[in-house]
Amino acid sequence: MAFQLPALAYAFDALEPHIDARTMEIHHDKHHAAYTNNLNNAIAGTEWENASIEDILANVSKIGMPVRNNGGGFYNHNLFWEIMGPNGGGAPSGDILSAIETHLGGWEKFKETFNAAATTRFGSGWAWLIVTGDKKLAVTSTPNQDNSLMDIAEVKGTPILGLDVWEHAYYLNYQNRRPDYISAFWNVINWQAVTAKFNAAMK
Ligand code: MN
């Protein structure tokens, strides 16, 4: 059963003015589609052909770079589309906010740490909010299409929020102004979706 490119749950222009429709269309229909196709091609006829994406990522050091890059790209973009949406922004509440206060020094400090992780990731990669194995929140960043589910990750855990800082994610609208794109991202975060991932990871 090959992996499928998921449909976006909202229109390409639903995140405007923060993320423009043309960027969303190319990002989903071209970039994410390519990662999905390349992942399927890389695992076709191998022992990983019917494995879950989580299982593949957890063993990626044994499988090879095409699967690391494209399996990561497939998973990371699935998550990225899910944790954004129209009517996004604001702040979470309840247990996830308590965890941000306990483990990350509070809401403002968390935003500062996450922004710094996204800004200082050199070249292409991602900034993350993850739930670690000991059920703590942590902010991390990874190069390229790596993520914290991979056996090669420096800090391991379940991603619940991710920001794509590849230039393809922002260049049409923001050119070289990555910090402006990072600021805008806070307006499109779907905290309901992030909270659902937090609750699932804490079980
Ligand atoms: Mn991307």
Calculate how far, in angstroms, residue 168's C-alpha sits from the geometric centre of ligand 1. Answer: 6
CA 94 to centroid of ligand 1, rounded, Å: 30
> If you measure from the C-alpha of residue 169 to the centroid of ligand 1, how many angstroms do you get, rounded to a whole number?
5
In the reported structure, the alpha carbon of residue 69 is separated from the centroid of ligand 1 by a whole-number distance in angstroms of 12
Alpha-carbon distance of 168 to 106, in angstroms, equals 31
Distance 71 CA to ligand 1 centre (A): 13
Consecutive 10-residue averages of pLDDT for the chain (203 residues): 94 98 98 98 96 98 97 98 96 98 98 98 97 98 98 98 98 97 98 98 96
So what's the pLDDT on residue 89? Answer: 96
**What pLDDT does residue 1 have?**
64
Q: Pull the structure tokens for residue 167.
A: 């230039």
Report cis status (omega within 30 of 0) of the bond before 17.
Answer: yes
